[in-house]
């Protein structure tokens, strides 16, 4: 079986490599010639644990190839996946579908025979129908069936998520076209049937909405516990224990109940916004989602004020060390990271900033003020700092010796925005330790 993957980003590259690992012949196409050249030379343009090895193995087995030539990728493919970006459209928060529509039309024009065009990008309800119109207009002569197969992988554990997902969602058209598409996708995902992965087969609109509903629900769950953390601070409760006590209830679950600086990343901010816009346009506004967005934005902005308050009301002339810049650990992705709201505000307030991130510094540099000094490791970042802010919970930061950290610094303020450290141990090491929602 041969397929094409349009887009060699976090989703396209991982999905393409994983399908190849399933034994399928995959050609990944991207318009970014630099990315494709790197991949052809065996260099992986993103940081994702395990990906380099997976790509190398499948390239060696000749199941995985890369190109900038869409026609070459599409020729003879039974299925073509769209894994291009769907960022927020400037101004109104709707998803920008220009990459999806352009790619769909290019695929249709390049098609050499019947194929299934599968949208893996996160797209608003109704996009599948528009894609179908585009391909039918471009190629009335060929049966191009459209399908929706939203992706739920998480950066940092993307390969495991793809290989052992909680479920696979497949949306198809009614009738024969849908049956054909479903048959092709079932064949592709056969290795997952063998491990009894639930397959949710639905209509296209439902599949599109499942992805947004899931992301908006998770974003709301995070935002909920963040507000509980604020309340804990006022009343002397401990959010860690509240979350545990809540999360052990099987109806609630423990995941996504970690209080922090507000959610970021390449998905939640843009997907919640797009869902809210879709719902408004459809006349069924989702006020919970709208409130989640507003509360989270305010929270990210408020985090810098917390740092300033912890430094006695001013950071002017002070040195602040920042550990972690990416929106979460085990990725180099800086999209909508809380650091992008916090670091510039601290710089503006007069702080000298020393930052370290194990994978994100190259992407962070063009996005953060030029005055930020990039350190070579956590202790180097802490050197001479008046205050230290833990922003992303990379494992290597968990293991730092409090004593060595304290000895490297000039001051004693430690603001742990991810609650990774033990308050007692940090106080014993001489820190004025502040975390989120814990006494
Ligand atoms: N990143 C995640 O964790 C994640 C998880 C689930 C779903 N998604 C969704 O998947 C989609 C892709 O996300 P991503 O993070 O992989 O994006 P990305 O920006 O990392 O990658 C998109 C790639 O598509 C390429 N591209 C754009 N137009 C093209 C065209 N016409 N032909 C060939 N290549 C083209 C770009 O050059 C880029 O390399 C988005 O809709 C996103 O919401 C992302």
Q: Where are the domains of the chain?
A: 2-197, 203-439
CATH of domain 203-439: 3.40.50.720
Environment class of residue 161 by beta-carbon count within 10 Å: exposed (0-12), middle (13-18) or buried (19+)? Answer: middle
For domain 2-197, give the fold. Answer: Rossmann fold (3.40.50)
Nearest Cα to 67, choosing from 95, 96, 106, 118?
106
d(CA 113, CA 74): 9
Both tokens assigned to 224: 């909920």
The protein residue with its alpha carbon nearest to ligand 1, atom 43, reads 122
Nearest Cα to 414, choosing from 439, 431, 436, 393?
431
Chain segment 106-122, per-residue pLDDT in tens: 999 999 999 999 999 99
The protein residue with its alpha carbon nearest to ligand 1, atom 10, reads 121
- For 285, half-sphere exposure in the C-beta direction (CA atoms, 13 angstrom radius) is 4
For the chain, the average pLDDT equals: 97
Evaluate: CB of 35 within 6 angstroms of ligand 1.
yes
**Cβ atoms within 10 A of the Cβ of 136, count?**
14
For residue 43, report the distance from its CA to the centre of ligand 1, in Å.
Answer: 18
Both tokens assigned to 411: 């001051």
pLDDT at 64: 98
Chain segment 418-437, per-residue pLDDT in tens: 999 999 999 999 999 999 99
pLDDT at 439: 85
pLDDT at 438: 96
Running DSSP on this structure, what letter comes out for residue 91? Answer: T
Average pLDDT for residues 339-347, to the nearest whole number?
98
Running DSSP on this structure, what letter comes out for residue 365? Answer: G
Evaluate: CB of 402 within 6 angstroms of ligand 1.
no
Find the helix or strand (DSSP H, E) in which 188 lies.
helix 175-188
Q: Cα–Cα distances in Å, from 210 out to 60, 196, 301, 419?
A: 36, 20, 30, 31
For residue 317, report the distance from its CA to the centre of ligand 1, in Å.
Answer: 41
In this prediction, what percent of the chain has a pLDDT beyond 90? 99
Nearest Cα to 147, choosing from 165, 166, 169?
169
Which residues are catalytic, by number? Answer: 267
pLDDT at 191: 97
Both tokens assigned to 378: 């956590």
* Contacts by 402-405, CB closer than 8 A, 24 or more apart: 402/426, 402/428, 402/429, 402/431, 403/429, 404/379, 405/378, 405/379, 405/429
Evaluate: CB of 122 within 6 angstroms of ligand 1.
yes
For residue 380, report the distance from its CA to the centre of ligand 1, in Å.
Answer: 35
pLDDT at 62: 98
Q: Which residues, listed in sequence order, are joined to residue 202 by a DSSP beta bridge?
A: 171
The answer to whether the 2-197 and 203-439 domains have the same CATH topology is yes
Evaluate: CB of 358 within 6 angstroms of ligand 1.
no
Residue with tokens 């989120």: 436
Q: Are 247 and 254 in contact (CB under 8 A)?
A: yes
Q: Given a cut of 90, is residue 93 above it in pLDDT?
A: no
**Cβ atoms within 10 A of the Cβ of 240, count?**
19
Q: Given a cut of 90, is residue 90 above it in pLDDT?
A: no
Evaluate: CB of 11 within 6 angstroms of ligand 1.
yes
pLDDT at 91: 83
pLDDT at 22: 97
Confidence of residue 217 (pLDDT cuts 50, 70, 90): very high
Average pLDDT for residues 9-19, to the nearest whole number?
98
Chain segment 168-208, per-residue pLDDT in tens: 999 999 999 999 999 999 999 999 999 999 999 999 999 99
């Amino acid at each position: 079986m041969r397929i094409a993957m349009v887009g060699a980003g976090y989703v396209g590259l991982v999905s393409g490599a994983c399908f190849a690992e399933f034994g399928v012949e995959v050609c990944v196409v991207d318009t970014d010639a630099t990315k494709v050249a790197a991949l052809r030379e065996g260099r992986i343009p993103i940081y994702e644990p395990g990906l380099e090895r997976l790509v190398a193995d499948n390239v060696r087995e000749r199941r995985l190839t890369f190109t900038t030539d869409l026609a070459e990728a599409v020729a003879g493919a039974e299925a073509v996946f769209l894994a291009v970006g769907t960022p927020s459209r400037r101004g109104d928060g709707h998803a920008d579908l220009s990459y999806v529509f352009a790619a769909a039309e290019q695929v249709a024009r390049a098609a050499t025979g019947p194929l299934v065009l599968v949208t893996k990008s996160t797209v608003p309800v109704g996009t599948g129908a528009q894609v179908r119109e585009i391909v039918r207009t471009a190629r009335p002569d060929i049966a191009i069936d459209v399908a929706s197969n939203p992706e739920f992988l998480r950066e940092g554990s993307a390969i495991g998520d793809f290989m052992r997902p909680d479920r696979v969602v497949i949306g198809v058209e009614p009738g024969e076209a849908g049956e054909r598409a479903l048959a092709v996708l079932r064949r592709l995902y056969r290795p997952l049937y063998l491990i009894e992965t639930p397959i949710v087969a639905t209509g296209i609109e439902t599949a599109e909405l499942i992805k947004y509903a899931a992301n908006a629900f998770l974003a709301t769950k995070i935002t909920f516990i963040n507000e509980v953390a604020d309340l804990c601070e006022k009343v002397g409760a401990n959010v860690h224990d509240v979350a545990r006590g809540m999360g052990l209830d099987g109806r609630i679950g423990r995941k996504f109940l970690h209080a922090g600086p507000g959610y970021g990343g390449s998905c939640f901010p843009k997907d919640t916004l797009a869902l809210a816009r879709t719902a408004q346009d459809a006349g069924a506004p989702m006020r919970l989602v709208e409130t989640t967005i507003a509360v989270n934005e305010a929270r990210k902005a408020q985090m810098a004020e917390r740092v300033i308050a912890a430094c006695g009301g001013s950071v002017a002339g002070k040195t602040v060390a920042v550990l972690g810049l990416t929106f979460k650990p085990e990725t180099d992705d800086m999209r909508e990271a809380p650091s992008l709201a916090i670091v510039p505000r601290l710089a503006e307030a007069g702080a000298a900033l020393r930052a370290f991130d194990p994978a994100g510094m190259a992407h962070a540099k063009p996005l953060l003020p030029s005055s930020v000094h990039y350190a070579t490791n956590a202790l180097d970042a802490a050197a001479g700092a008046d205050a230290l802010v833990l922003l992303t919970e990379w494992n290597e930061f968990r293991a730092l010796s409090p004593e060595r950290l304290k000895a490297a610094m000039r001051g004693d303020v430690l603001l742990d925005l991810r609650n990774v450290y033990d308050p007692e141990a940090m106080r014993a090491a001489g820190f004025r330790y502040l975390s989120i929602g814990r006494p």
